[in-house]
Amino acid sequence: MIRRRAAGLLSRRRCAPTVAVMLLTLTACGAHEPGASGRSQQLTVGRALAAEQVLTRGIDAGGLRSLDPSISTDVSAAHVLDDLFEGLTRLDERGEPAPGVASSWETSADGRTWTFHLRDARWSNGEPVRAGDFVFAWRRTVNPATASEYGQALAAVVNCVAINEGKLPVSELGISALDERTVRVQLIAPTPYLLSLLTKSYAYPQYEPVVRAHGEDWVRPEHIVSNGAFTLREHVIGGRVRLLKNPRYWDAASVRLQEVVYLPLDRAVQTARFFAGELMFTDPFSAEQTAWLRSRLGNQVVSAPYLGNVVLGLNVLRPPFKGNRNLRMALTLGVDRETLVHFVRQGLYEPAWTPTPPLPGYDAPVPDWARLSEDARHTLARRLYAAAGYTRERPLRIRLHYPTDTDNRRTYEAVAAMWRANLGAEVETYNDEFRVQLNERQLKKLELFHYAWIGDYPDPYTFLQLFQTGFGQNDGGYSNPRYDALLNAAGEESDATRRLQLLSQAEALLNEDVACIPLYYYATRHLIKSYVRGWTSNIQDRNLSQYMYLLEHQGH
């Protein structure tokens, strides 16, 4: 207990909301005075390009732990790297994979060999980007000596896992340079999301001479050689990151921004800076503020579906959930998702009936109970709850663990209240510092816990693998041989439609077994000045600065 308190005192998550509440209460006070209400609405936007093309973007304060594409794992750094480097493919304005350094490619009949043809792209020092630069970079990412947390992100590539585990030399990796402008990639299985993977930081090329000369220091502004739309000018750790347009980028003619400044800041601070007119594009604002922000900023508040879900993890290896599907189902039915989403999460998120968020081309298996009325669900839930051996007099008593965060607290207080009202279950919500909880969760010590996941690529597999037997993040301990077999079959399937069908069957099994309690799907949340154009909301929430531009404007 003392330990928990001590950790809490140091918690940024605890400190940040305090500051957040202060800032917002104060800004809110200002909002009701007639003189002040118009400030942000006084913004008038013209049609011509602004003379000064300098974009300021907010990113999450906790990130930017490394700018090395082989090593970096956090979202903040991914935004910066998206601007600095370009892989074989890049994301287009709509967030879809499109030709990048590779201008074209072919696939073998079995979908396991891909050949990419490189365009005349240049590094920021003027040297051509060669096929060997990809081979070098990929080997470096996978090499266990690099000690990258993303060492197996390229697991689809032949021998990636074995090399990363130190069983094979890096030269055995399934990537080769056929000549200076041709890259061949060999995959262990057809990977329909490969083009999307190739836009990620771990698949960028790296300029070997500078990495060899400076080691991990190569990403410092004084050394770095990059091949994206921007170059790194300044990087203050914990502070600003300043990028300048790269005149040597192959598509530089269509890049209008001259400079991009990234500022790592807490959410509430980002919002305040947006009001002050100093940030033009912010990272997630607090979901709690949605309604208030919309009333103040109108369509500058931008939200769209995001490739992520929030579920309640159930530990099926321990009582009370072990071998007790009735109880798991009763709790699943006892959550009123529409109420949760509309009243607690202010209509920002979509209710979830199944773990995988909506994806184009994928027919997610929505369970039958989702179509029942709320009352019918409650009746069924009570029956299953009773069948599981619980009554109003002898209710289920359990702790629901979630990481400290005001947004989470509201959600889980509501969920606990729903279970109390609908079933009579006594659920105690219990929050802890993220790292403390993560540790206990991975040791499978928690029975009922918050579990949020952001997909690595737009494909159901990134969500479904979490329930595979023995998978590292399978913190609930779910295991079903039929499920594993379906996932493996999908992995081997070269027909894309058939593969998605297999995944859908697997997911239906997951719902049938009630491996977790889906709550809702995430949404992207940005504040974007109305004079910033050229971005499109996309499911991966990656907005490359190279497509953005600023229109003439007056006011803040």
Partner 1 sequence: MGRYLLGRLLTAIPTLLIIATLAFVLLHAAPGGPFDSDRQLVPQIQHSIEARYHLDEPVWRQFVRYLANLARGDLGPSFQYRNTSVNELIAQGLPVDAAIGLTAILFALLVGGAAGLFAATRPGSRADRAAMSLAMLGISVPVFVTAPLLMLVFAIRLHWLPAGDWVAGSWRHLLLPSLALALPYCAYIARIVRAAAIEALHQPYIRTANAKGLPAYLILCRHASRATLMPLVSFLGPALAGLLTGSIVVEQVFGLPGIGRLFVVGALNRDYTVVTGITVLYGALIIVFNLLVDLCYAWLDPRIRSRV
Taking contact as CB under 8 A, which single stretch among the options 46-54, 143-151, 341-349, 422-430 is the one that binds partner 1?
143-151
The answer to whether residue 462 forms part of the interface with partner 1 (CB under 8 A) is no
Is 182 among the residues that bind partner 1 (CB under 8 A)? no
Using the rule CB under 8 A, is 479 a contact of partner 1? no
300 contributes a contact to partner 1 by CB under 8 A? no
Does position 61 interact with partner 1 (CB under 8 A)? The reply is yes
Total residues found in the chain within this entry: 556
Residue 2 interacts with partner 1 (CB under 8 A): yes or no: no
Q: Of the candidates 269, 352, 400, 515, which one interacts with partner 1 according to CB under 8 A?
A: 269
Our CB check for partner 1 shows the closer of 39 and 122 to be: 39
Query: Which CA distances in Å does 397 have to 82, 391, 392, 419, 477?
Result: 47, 11, 11, 11, 21
3-state SS assignment for residue 230: strand
Q: Is 473 in the site for partner 1 (CB under 8 A)?
A: yes
CA distance 460 to 358: 9
Distance of CA 468 to the CA centre of its chain: 20
Torsions phi, psi for 125 (to 5 deg):
-95, 5
Q: What is the DSSP string of 94-156?
A: TS-EEESSEEEEEE-TTS-EEEEEE-S-B-TTSPBP-HHHHHHHHHHHH-GGG--TTTTTTTT
Nearer to partner 1, 265 or 384 (CB): 265
By beta-carbon proximity to partner 1, the closer residue of 77 and 344 is 77
Contact segment (CB under 8 A) with partner 1 among 8-16, 114-122, 221-229, 511-519 equals 8-16
> How far apart, in whole angstroms, are the C-alpha atoms of residue 343 and residue 338?
8
Stretch of residues binding partner 1 (CB under 8 A), selected from 10-18, 122-130, 192-200, 485-493: 10-18
* Residues whose CB falls within 8 Å of the CB of residue 355, separated by 6 or more in sequence, listed in order: 309, 311, 463, 464, 466, 467, 507, 510, 516, 518
Task: Indicate which single residue of 37, 50, 54, 62 sits in contact with partner 1 (rule: CB under 8 A).
Answer: 62
How crowded is the C-beta side of 268, counted as CA atoms within 13 Å? Answer: 20
Which of these segments, 112-120, 186-194, 215-223, 478-486, binds partner 1 (CB under 8 A)? Answer: 215-223
Residue 355's nearest CA partner among 451, 422, 470 is 451
The 3-class secondary structure across 194-207, one letter per residue, is HHHHCCCHHHCCCC
Asked if 266 touches partner 1 (CB under 8 A), the answer is yes
- Our finding on whether 6 is near partner 1 (CB under 8 A) is yes
366 with 353: CB under 8 angstroms? yes
Among 76, 148, 422, 538, binds partner 1 (CB under 8 A): 148
Let me know: does 358 contact 544? Beta carbons within 8 Å: no
By rule CB under 8 A, what count of residues binds partner 1?
A: 66
- Does an H or E element contain 554, and which? strand 549-554
- Residue 454 CB burial class (10 angstroms; 0-12, 13-18, ≥19): middle
CB of 154 to partner 1, least distance (A): 13
Which residue in the set 30, 209, 323, 389 belongs to the binding site for partner 1 (CB under 8 A)? 30
Q: Could you give phi then psi for residue 178, rounded to 5 degrees? A: -70, -40
Q: In the complex with partner 1, which residue's Cβ is closer, 465 or 501?
A: 465
Residue among 128 and 166 whose Cβ is closer to partner 1: 166
> Residue 166 CB, nearest distance to partner 1 (Å)?
5
Counting contacts by CB under 8 A, is residue 326 touching partner 1? no
Which range touches partner 1 (CB under 8 A), out of 132-140, 262-270, 364-372, 542-550?
Answer: 262-270
Residue 444 found at the interface with partner 1 (CB under 8 A): no
Q: For strand 516-527 and strand 350-351, is the pairing parallel, antiparallel, or unpaired?
A: antiparallel
Q: Which is nearer to partner 1, 263 or 384 (CB)?
A: 263
Which of 369, 453 has the CB closer to partner 1? 453
**Residue in 393, 437, 382 with CA at minimum distance from that of residue 412:** 437
Chosen residue from 47, 145, 360, 368 binding partner 1 by CB under 8 A: 145
Q: Does 93 bind partner 1 (CB under 8 A)?
A: no
Residues near partner 1, by CB under 8 A: 3, 6-7, 10-13, 15-16, 18-19, 22-23, 26-27, 30, 36, 39, 61-62, 65-66, 68, 71, 73, 144-145, 147-149, 151-152, 164-166, 215-217, 236-240, 263-266, 269, 272-273, 275-278, 433-436, 438-440, 442, 453, 472-473, 556
